[in-house]
Chains A and B, each alone.
Chain A
Amino acid sequence: MIEARLGNHLRQWRADKELTQAELANLAGVSRKTINTVENGVFIPSVQLALVLARALGTTVEALFYLIPPRAQR
Chain B
Amino acid sequence: MSDVRDEGAPARRSSYWREVGCAWLDLALVVVGSLALRFGLMRFAWFSSFHDNHAFWAELVPIWLVVISFMLFVRPRWRGAEDAAYREDLRRGRLKRMSLASRSAVLLVSLGLIVVGSIFRGPYQVVALAVGVPTLVLFALEEVNIVLRPGDSLVVRDRPDELVEFFKARSLQIGYLVAVLSLLCSYVVSLAAPRYASMLLSVVLVVSLLVPAHVYHRLDRRAGGDD
Which residues of A are at the interface with B, using a C-beta cutoff of 8 A? 20-21, 29-31, 33-34, 36-37, 40, 42-43, 45-46, 49
Contacts and interface: CB of A to CB of B under 8 A. Distances in A.
Interface in B184-227: 220, 222-227
Nearest to A44: B166
Nearest to B161: A30
A40 B225 CA distance: 10
Contact of B163 (A20, A21, A29, A37): A37
Contacts of A30: 159, 161-163
Interface of B: 158-159, 161-164, 166, 220, 222-227
B226 A21 contact: yes
Chain B CB within 10 A, most for which of A21, A29, A30, A49: A30
Contacts of A21: 226-227
A20 to B, nearest CB: 6
Contacts of A45: 162
B161 A36 contact: no
A34 B161 CA distance: 8
B161 A31 contact: yes
B164 A31 contact: yes
A42 B162 contact: no
A43 B227 contact: no
A36 B224 contact: yes
Contacts of B161: 29-31, 34, 49
A61 B226 CA distance: 24
A53 B159 CA distance: 16
Given A31-B158, A33-B220, A43 B163 contact: yes
A43 B159 contact: no
A37 B219 CA distance: 10
Given A20-B227, A21-B227, A34 B222 contact: no
A73 to B, nearest CB: 21
Given A30-B163, A33-B220, A49-B161, 8 more contacts: A30-B161, A33-B163, A36-B223, A36-B225, A36-B226, A37-B163, A37-B222, A42-B222
A40 B163 CA distance: 13
30 contacts: A20-B227, A21-B226, A21-B227, A29-B161, A30-B159, A30-B161, A30-B162, A30-B163, A31-B159, A31-B163, A31-B164, A33-B163, A33-B220, A33-B223, A33-B224, A34-B161, A34-B223, A36-B224, A36-B225, A36-B226, A37-B163, A37-B222, A40-B225, A42-B222, A42-B223, A43-B163, A43-B166, A43-B223, A45-B162, A49-B162
